[in-house]
Every structure is written in C-alpha cells, then in structure tokens.
Structure 1
Amino acid sequence: MRKHLVIICSLIFSTLLNNIPAHATEYKQSNTYGVKHGDSLPQIAIKFGTSVNDLKMTNGLQSNTLLVGQKLWVPTTYEVVPGDTLRGIALAFHSTVDAIKTKNKLSTDQLYIGQVLKIPPKKMKMQGQHILMTREEFRDWLFNARINRRVTLIQEHHTWLPSYKQFNGTNHFRMLQGMENFHKRKMGWSTIAQNITTFPDGKIAVSRPFNIAPEGTIGPRANATGIAIENVGNFDKGHDVMTAQQKETIVYITAVLSIKFGLTPSIDTITYHHWWNLRTKERVLDKGPDYNVKTCPGTAFFGGNSTTDAINNFYPLVTRKIKEILASRN
C-alpha cells in the first residue's frame, strides 16, 4: 500500500510541476559564449562537447572565421527547479522541446526537480551560404553577430523577377540558388548580390555575408556602407500584392537592422533603389528621369517609391517597430 501511495504522490507532484506556467521560472543561466582573442571553432567545439559543424548550424555561420565579441549558442546542462516545463526551458535556451527530448531520451514531457538536462541549441536551416530564418531567429542571429565594416544605409529592393508566381511556399533555397547563379554568371558578381532576401511567407534568408558590401546596379556609393534587402515580388502597381507576412517581415528586419547599427529611419539611412541614377550611380531622390532610374522597390511598395511615400508610410512603421522591439528586450 505504501509503495502505491509513493507512486501516486510522485505522479501528482510531476503533474503539478509540469502544469506550472512556463514563465514561472526566471532563467539566470545563459548558453551563449562570447568569442575571445585566440578562439577557434575547433577549440570551442571541444570545450562544449560539440562539433564544428553543429556550431555552424546552430549559429548560422557562413565560414569558420570568428570575431572577438561575437556570441555563439553552445550546448549546456540545466538542473530542473520548481516551475520548469520543457517548453519554458526550450524557449529560454534557444532550443526546442523535441531537441531536448531527443538529446535526453525522454519519452514524455514530464520533468522532476533535480533532473539534469542536456540542452542542445536548435539548428538553423542552411544550404551553402544561405540561412533561412524566422523574424525572431533573424533578430537573435543579428544581435549575436559582430560586423567588421561600417553600415550606415539599409537598401530596399524588389526582385521584380522572380515574383510571387515563382514562389510555391517551399522553394526558398531553390530561388536563392537561382538568383546566386544569375548574379555570378550573367552579372559577373562574386556571389549573390544581396545580403538579405524576404519571401511572401514572411521568411528571411541571409546569403551574402554582412561583412561583405552588397553588389548591384544601385552603385558603389550606396553599396560601400550598405546592407541590401531584396524583397521577393514585383511590387509595381498592378502586379504582386504584398502579403501581410512579408510586409511585417520587411518592417521588422528594417527595425532590427536600425537598432543593430544605431540608425534613425530617414532618407539618409533607409533608401530605395528608385532614388539612385543608374548611369551616374548618384542619389537623385525624386528627381531622376524615368529612363535613368528603376521603379524598385516598386511603385506600390508601402504606398509608393517616392521619398514622400517612405516618410509618410514606411518610416513610421519602422520607428514604431523599433520601439516595440526595444521595449520587449527590457
């Protein structure tokens, strides 16, 4: 009888533990590592019991190069305390419930106090240099990164082609590879021109490393200290109607980039390709003749492609989103 009572009590306690809201616990432990002088990926992999490939996949690293001050997600161990749930632990340590269960060979979501869990960071979706992310993953990736060049200008573009007709919801990497091949073979550029690509489903890809200036017909002056965003779609009037998901993503990543590089939204910090002369490569704002400027990022991009459209329709959204993101980090 006593044995049965102990089992019943244990089950009740375990159930209560797992029914406490995930936010009940304050996680003071971190599983990020700040890169120091002399560090290398093999050394860090050995230190934290992982592999170089796993470090690259969990941190979206496009090469083996590290910069001092860069933050990396690394495996850690965690001892369960009252209030913990697998979901809460996964959120706190940049992991997933399934990854924690697999790593610890757990058959259920139940936890017990004192249980020691191995916590692997979640892996990113990568093919070659292309990293596919959600908005939140991009935010974390960017805030952990160190950029070794000066960035003062965020460029907004649309692809025009490929457009929404070419996107089927799952072919992100195929489209990126197609753009990379075109830029290298037809345009003669070293790799894909843009640093960032946004998709109709709201996903984000980082392709050209941020430490390399973008290429493209906008010209060297805009590219020298620029980050180029290509938004998949043809946003000229009468063509693709931007999805709510992509619209939110464009505003969100522009806000995150502004925070990262200390930029206040204005015509001097967030620019449209339409404002640059194709022949002289100089900024002409709204004064460029039609035969010397592109419509990019589209005559219907957040209401239009003029400076007035940007000031009235786009920059206020970015400014508001900056405030929301900063408030959420406090």
Structure 2
Amino acid sequence: MITKGNFLLLDSSEFNGWLQQQKITRTISKLQVHHTWLPNYSTRRNQDHFRCLEGIRTTHLANGWSGTGQNVTVFEDGKIAISLDRDLNKTPAGIKGENTGALCVEIIGNFDVGGDAMTDEQRQAVLHLYACLAIKLNIPVDTNHIVYHAWYTSAGDWLGDYIQGRSSKTCPGTNFFGHGNTRLAASRGFIPGIQAEVQRIKNGDEEPMTAAEKKRMDDLQATVDAQSKWIESEKAKANMECPSWAKTAYEYYKPFIADSKGSYDFWRQLVINYRKENGIQVQKV
C-alpha cells in the first residue's frame, strides 16, 4: 500500500481490508464499468503506475473537471488505485448526467475487438473489486446496478444496452471480458464472475495472498527453481565426456574403464590416482 501524490496504490489482496475501514457518507447504488482505451497495455509498457495516474488526472483537469474523473483504477498487473482527489465519498465524472449515486471504476486497457487481451491478474482484481464493493455498499450484482458506459447515450440517457450509433461509447469494450459490451454479454460473463467472487468472500474462503505472503512464495519458488537447475546440472556432470585435463589418465586406465563418460568427481579422482601411481608431483604456485 503506497500513497504518492494524488493516489493510493494497493495490491488486490489489500483492497478488501482497506475498504472495510472506509466510512461511506454518500448513497451509492450503482457501480460504473469503464475501460480507459488510452492509456492501454502498449502505452503502459515500462511506465510507473503513479506517472500513469497523474497523466490521466492532468487530462481530466484539462477537461475542466475538478480532479481525476474516476474513483478507482485497476491496472493490468492487478494493482488497484484510489483517487485521493476523487475518493469514494465524492461523485465521479464517469457518465454524463448519471454520476449521482454512482461509483466510477476505470480499467486500464483497450478492450475493443482487436485491442488488449485482459491479463489474468487484472481479470481477478476486477472481479474481486466489484464483489467487495457490492458487499460493502449492499448493491445487487445485476445489470441494473453494475452498468456499462455503453448502455447510455452521450447525453446520459439510459438505453439499457449497447446500441451502435446511439451509445455514447463502446466502453468498456466490444470484447470486454471476452464476451463484449452488450447487456447479454455482461449477464453471461462479467456478472456471474462477480457473483461467484461474492460467494467466495462470504463463504470465508481464503483471501488472496498479501504482498508479504506472495513475496515468500516467490522466494520459495525461486529457491526451488535454482535447486532444480542445480540437480539438472549435476545430472549433466555425472554423464560428462572425458575432459581434456583427464585425457592422459583416461588413456592410461582405458582398458579398465567401461566408457568415456563419468562425473566430474570421477575424472578428478582418476587423475589423482594416475599421478600417484606414476609419481607425478604437482607444483604449487
């Protein structure tokens, strides 16, 4: 959990604990779903999270808004950012005419057909975020209360679905969650995913790992990987061809050796025996 400038950045596993400590003083009955379109995965490559967020904020200020438009942002690596200049108790600037009583979530990426393929980390973080918000705010998980920007006109009138030519935008993308931006697509993919995550949380299933736990697991995995590489290396050494420094000893003992392969220790011992048997002294330098 890091605070810098106008934003608080959390790991997905930290979000629910943080959310439970927040006092919500305004009525929130709808959760908006947006994709940023720009920035997207390409523009985000090797970019610092806070630099990205401040860039979004600068653009929104240039629009004449009082601060960052969205309350929450979800990154492609699963990290979640809270806009401190547009915290949960402030009305967002997400859908013109339909922001009162709503909370705006921007998902980094372009999820139109031909755009970005959402990462598993972001997908899980998005589902977890909406599930936590639905529980905290007592919001039903359905398409009346979790709404896509594409279901509104540019004037903020409710269409109830994506209608090409009438919808203000394709947001959150014509391939959002691999299904699309229609109400039917949401009912088949996004909404059931949130419902399953709500149930998981309510059942008291294990929460996602904390940052410290993830680091321990990563360190353990790195140790296991290193050990596996060492074992493979040792296996290779155990079947190595006679090295050049052991050639003389090998030729001497060749009649008594089955083949020309052995471990490093085997070749080393063979050379030692050869030197002892032939009275060869090794000069120390």
TM-score using structure 2 length: 0.69
Partner AA of 1:139 in structure 2: N
Question: CA RMSD of the aligned region, Å?
Answer: 1.5
Corresponding residue SS for 1:304: coil
Larger Rg: 2
Work out the CA distance in 2 between the residues paired with 1:238 and 1:193: 26
Q: Say whether 1:319 aligns with 2:212.
A: no
Q: Could you list the runs of 4 or more consecutive aligned residues of structure 1 that deviate by over 6 angstroms after TM superposition?
A: none
Q: Which residue identity lines up with residue 91 of structure 2 in the other structure? A: A
Counterpart contact for 1:155–1:272, Cα < 8 Å? yes
Aligned counterpart, 2:133: 257
Indicate the residue corresponding to 1:138 in structure 2: 15
Structure-2 change in CA distance of 1:169 and 1:205 (3 Å): farther
The answer as to 2:106 corresponding to 1:246 is no
Question: Larger relative CO (CA 8 A, sep 6+): 1 or 2?
Answer: 2
Aligned amino acid, residue 286 of structure 1: D
Counterpart of 2:104 in 1: which secondary structure?
A: strand
Which amino acid is 1:239 matched to?
Answer: G
| Contact 1:163/1:234 (<8 A) preserved | yes
CA 300–156 in structure 1, closer or farther in 2 if over 3 Å, else same = same
Residue 226 (1) aligns with residue 99 (2): no
Q: Do structure 1's residue 182 and structure 2's residue 39 form an aligned pair?
A: no
> SS of the residue aligned with 1:286?
coil
CA-CA distance at 1:271 after TM superposition: 0.3
Please state whether the residue corresponding to 1:224 is helix, strand or coil: coil
The structure 1 residue matched to 2:36, chosen from 152, 159, 162, is 159
Q: CA offsets per residue over residues 256-311 of structure 1, 9 Å max, x none?
A: 00000111211111000000100x31110226442542000000102110000111
Match of 1:147 among 16, 21, 24: 24
Q: Distance in 2 between matches of 1:306 and 1:291?
A: 13
The change in CA–CA distance for 1:315 and 1:224 in structure 2 (over 3 A counts) is: same
Shift of 1:128: 2.0
Q: What is the alpha-carbon distance in structure 2 between the residues aligned to residue 169 and residue 264 of structure 1?
A: 38
Question: For the Cα contact (< 8 Å) 1:153–1:226, is it kept in 2?
Answer: yes
Residue 196 of structure 2 aligns to a residue whose secondary structure is helix
Q: Decide which of 92, 113, 126 is 1:214's aligned counterpart.
A: 92
- Once residues 256 and 276 of structure 1 are traced to their aligned partners in structure 2, the CA distance between those partners, rounded to angstroms, is 25
Residues 113, 173 of structure 2: 8 Å contact kept: yes
Contact residue 9 and residue 81 of structure 2 kept, 8 A: yes
Please name the residue that 1:298 is paired with.
Answer: 173
Aligned positions of 1:36-75 closer than 5 A: none
Q: Of 43, 50, 58, which aligns to 1:173?
A: 50
| % same residue | 37
Unmatched runs of 5 consecutive residues or more in structure 1 = 1-123
Secondary structure in 2 aligned to 1:315? helix
Structure-2 residue corresponding to 1:60? none
Q: Indicate if the aligned counterparts of 1:169 and 1:201 stay in contact, CA closer than 8 A.
A: no
Secondary structure of the residue aligned to 1:155 is strand
Asked if the contact 1:156–1:228 (Cα under 8 Å) also holds between the matched residues in 2, the reply is yes
Matched ranges for 1:4-19 at <5 A: none
User: CA separation in 2, counterparts of 1:324 and 1:238?
Assistant: 32
What is residue 185 of structure 2 aligned with on the other side? 309
Structure 1 counterpart of 2:11, which letter?
T
User: AA paired with 1:283?
Assistant: W
Unaligned runs of 5+ residues in structure 2 are: 207-285
TM-score by length of 1: 0.59
Aligned equivalents of 2:163, 2:170: Cα separation in 1: 11
